[in-house]
Amino acid sequence: MTFYRPRSILALILTGFAVVSLPFIVALIIAEGYVDRLARQSEEAVEQTAQVTNNSRMLAEQAVAMERSARQFLVLEDPELLAAYTKTHQEFLKTAGILYSLPLDQKQKQKLIDAEKQAGVLFHKMGSFSGNSAESAEVVAEFLSLSDLAKEIFADGNQLINHKMAVLQNTAWEAQQMLLWLGAALVPLAMILIALFASLIARPIGHIDQAIRRLGSGEFSTAIAVSGPRDLEALGQRLDWLRLRLIELEEEKNKFLRNISHDLKTPLAAIREGSELLTEEAVGKLTDEQRDIARILRQNGVQLQVLIEDLLNFNIASMRGTHVEFSPVKLDDLIDKVIEDHRAALIAKNIFLDKHCTPLTVAGDREKLRVVVDNLLSNAVKYTPPKGTIGLSLGSATKIVTSTSSENGEEAQEKIDMVVLDVTDTGPGIEPSDKSKVFDIFYRGNVPQHGHIKGTGLGLAIAKEFVSAHGGSIEVVENKKDGMGAHFRVTLPVGRPNEE
């Protein structure tokens, strides 16, 4: 099943705006219908109540006028008064007919019928009046009854107004309740739609952000796939192309470093051997000037060899997924051999080595662990002034790891045996601003080095890579001895990382 995919992020935003706005548009249409209905009912009610009020009032006035004209005629028997009465009677009937056509209830209409009948009977009696006083009194009494009936009809018209107002109020209340329920239903719906489209917009952007972060951290093994609008999918494809290109460049860089390092080591070995022979005067006695030149050649040859070895080690350390050959390694013996390699430098600077190493064995790659210890010790020798002290201790520790079971959600604690290697010196220490950078490649800080061979800024970076490959950690520990000197701590698991 293929879902709609917008062509661009802008189209997705506009689509989301339209979909979120749709419920409110529907609500406006419904509200407009209720308002229009209420307006029409109000208009009809005003018009009808006005007609009922006016005509019922006119009917009552005409009934009074007929009574007055009838009284005068019954007394004076003037034909003009009878003509005036006849005219008023016709208007009364006309007004009653108009009222009858209006939307009155059955009771009001019955009163109109009774009033018309009573008016017709009185009109007949007025036309056949013989001048009898008894008959005159009877007619006047009937006119009074007709006037009272007309007043009742007028009063009923006022009640009709109240009824219409009650109907309008009820309609308005229904409209209000409907709009409230509509709002209560539409607001959550709109929030759900907003959250949905926000997720649709944020998800591909989040994928792109994660992909860029992975590329920035040097993780090139995971393919980049972005799902969403087509322009962002295209951007994800370009990022994946960039990932593949970076992999190619990384392989080319590693190949170049391997080749150039190998090509440099052969002539360098000849230079080192020649400089050693000259220094030892194996080919004859040297003058003081020649001896100085031979010494300079030897020192620079050693420095160049260190640079090449660091480049090789860094090339190995920076390769993602470098295979680690695990085997039992006696760390205390390994440390002793590394110390022997630096014995000449320690003696030359008259540095005291304070060593406290417990015999411990770990599962690891012997050569990579040797590089870690060698880099830390050479770093301490470089920065320790003459007659200074280097501390080196090896001990064990226990790390407690808390894990949560995916099946029942219960927490479990596991004890992991660790070894801890501490290397300290009495040099100038590490500046607070440099502590977060000392493990970056080619970073050497601003503190002075006490040695002839300058560092490359790769030693600590290589040590961190090799320690991480063993599932351990390396950190800078705050030195509590007057803040002087550096303190590095390496923590390694005794067994293989992630070992059951």
Domains and CATH numbers, the chain: 9-193 (1.20.120.1730), 221-322 (1.10.287), 327-493 (3.30.565.10)
Q: Which two tokens stand for residue 136?
A: 């005159």
Say how many C-beta atoms besides its own lie within 10 A of residue 48's C-beta: 16
Q: In a 10 Å sphere around its CB, with 0-12 CB exposed, 13-18 middle and 19+ buried, how is residue 190 labelled?
A: middle
User: What is the spatial distance between Cα 131 and Cα 77, in angstroms, rounded to a whole number?
Assistant: 8
Residue in the structure block whose two tokens are 């008023």 = 88
Report the SS3 class of residue 372. helix
Element (H, E) at 425: strand 411-425
CA distances from 419 to 136, 221, 354, 393 (A): 134, 31, 19, 11
Residue in the structure block whose two tokens are 């099943």 = 1
User: What is the spatial distance between Cα 109 and Cα 56, in angstroms, rounded to a whole number?
Assistant: 12
List per-residue pLDDT tens for the chain, 500 residues long.
445 566 777 777 777 777 777 777 877 787 777 777 777 777 776 777 777 777 777 878 877 877 777 777 777 777 787 788 788 888 878 887 887 777 777 777 787 777 778 777 777 777 666 566 666 677 777 777 777 777 777 777 666 666 667 777 777 777 777 777 877 777 787 788 787 777 777 788 888 888 888 887 777 778 888 877 787 788 888 888 988 888 888 778 777 776 776 677 677 777 777 777 777 777 778 787 887 887 788 777 777 777 777 666 666 656 545 567 889 999 999 999 999 988 888 888 899 999 999 999 999 999 889 989 998 998 889 888 899 999 999 998 888 776 665 556 566 677 888 999 999 998 888 887 777 778 776 666 655 555 544 555 677 888 888 888 888 899 988 876 555 788 999 999 988 776 44
This prediction's pTM: 0.48
How many Å separate Cα 384 from the centre of its chain? 50
Please compute, for residue 65, the number of CA atoms within 13 A of its CA located in the half-sphere on the CB side. 17
User: What is the spatial distance between Cα 182 and Cα 493, in angstroms, rounded to a whole number?
Assistant: 63
Which one-letter DSSP state was computed for residue 104? -
Report the SS3 class of residue 474. strand
Q: Which two tokens stand for residue 146?
A: 């007709």
Which one-letter DSSP state was computed for residue 442? T
Please compute, for residue 238, the number of CA atoms within 13 A of its CA located in the half-sphere on the CB side. 7
